[in-house]
Structure 1
Amino acid sequence: MVGQRRFTVFGVVNALILIAVAISTLYPLLYITAVSVSDTASVTQGEVFLWPHGFNLEAYKDVLFDPKIPRAYLNTIYYTFLGTFINLLFTSVAAYPLSQPQFVGRKFWMLAIVLTMFLQPGIIPNFLIVQKLGLLDSVWALVIPNAIWTFELIILKSFYENMSAQIREAALIDGASEYRILFNIVLPLSKPALASVGLFFFIGHWNSFFSR
């Protein structure tokens, strides 16, 4: 019959998986909402599950009237936008020479960069670097040490490599420098890739609670 909906095993399994994902996504939101309006005693005793016990708005009062909260949000917005801009600038510039086959030591530098994905320095080396650079107690201590992200660098490098080499050769014949080729030709043509990695940068900075 035309228009009759047919149920398949794949469709049923897919629907069950999506329902499970939806429940696992909504549960934390429902739970934290119930906890936020419940009595403190009920929360500490573990009596709250998905429905509030009692009624208490002290948590919302503390958040809405605490002068530290607006300042904290402004700092987060400032750090996020500044960090995203620094990441886009440094990563896009670093990826350009690595995408050129004639770049001397290209494989060595790529190997050294990729190793940073597996060998994390930790807090103490980062602190020592910030201290030696004189960046303590400044916003630059949060954005300069993480100016280039390895995974996003690889994405931009791969995108640059897929561009037509004739465009760069024509610009070089016309007397354009490498900087002009990068900023006037390569980056404008890389807007889709920059938008994608920029979203990663933005979310990463917004969620970086520990470094704040």
Structure 2
Amino acid sequence: MWSVTLLALAFSGSALACTQSQIEAATTLVLFANPLIQAERQELAEQSHQRDWSARLTLGYTMGGSAEATAGGPNAGIQVEIPLFDRANELKVVKARSALQQRQDAVLSDFLGQMEKLCSKADQVRELDTMRRFYRDRLQYRQEQVKEGLEDADTLWKETEKAQEVEHDYRRKQGELAAMQIAIARRFGGEEWKRLQALLADASR
């Protein structure tokens, strides 16, 4: 069994955008809300509450008295069957518990793989944000230099083109990041997908 902490640590060092606590919060929500895990959890609950014995109601009608019944007429009885060595239900519970664990491991492994991609994308957005700020500030500096007559106006073309290029890349990656957040949240969050989306947005901010 993998713990949430160990799963989070599996890649937390490879991406700067997401902290361990943010990954753990998102992973915990997935464990609670993911439809596939919920289905296995429900199956385990149903198997755990099944009885190891069965009861059967028998109905009959007698015309006259007997040693057991002093008068004739309709009668009913309950026959209870309690198997002495039947472990079928116990085995079903063990199987359901194992299926739940396997499902949790599979879903969390898949989810954390998507989280790693998300955090990597967030790192790219951060890098582009730093670059666009740098080129924007440098463009402003060049503009001031041109106003003061210290540089030729032609130098602004190259600076403007580079600043616009980086700004475009930043906006594009930012849109890709937002789309990934929604896709992952809908895939793993079930009815809590909007809450998961908010956690993912906070983690990859």
| More strand, by proportion | 2
Structure number with bigger Rg: 2
TM-score higher than 0.5 here?
no
* TM-score relative to the length of structure 2: 0.29
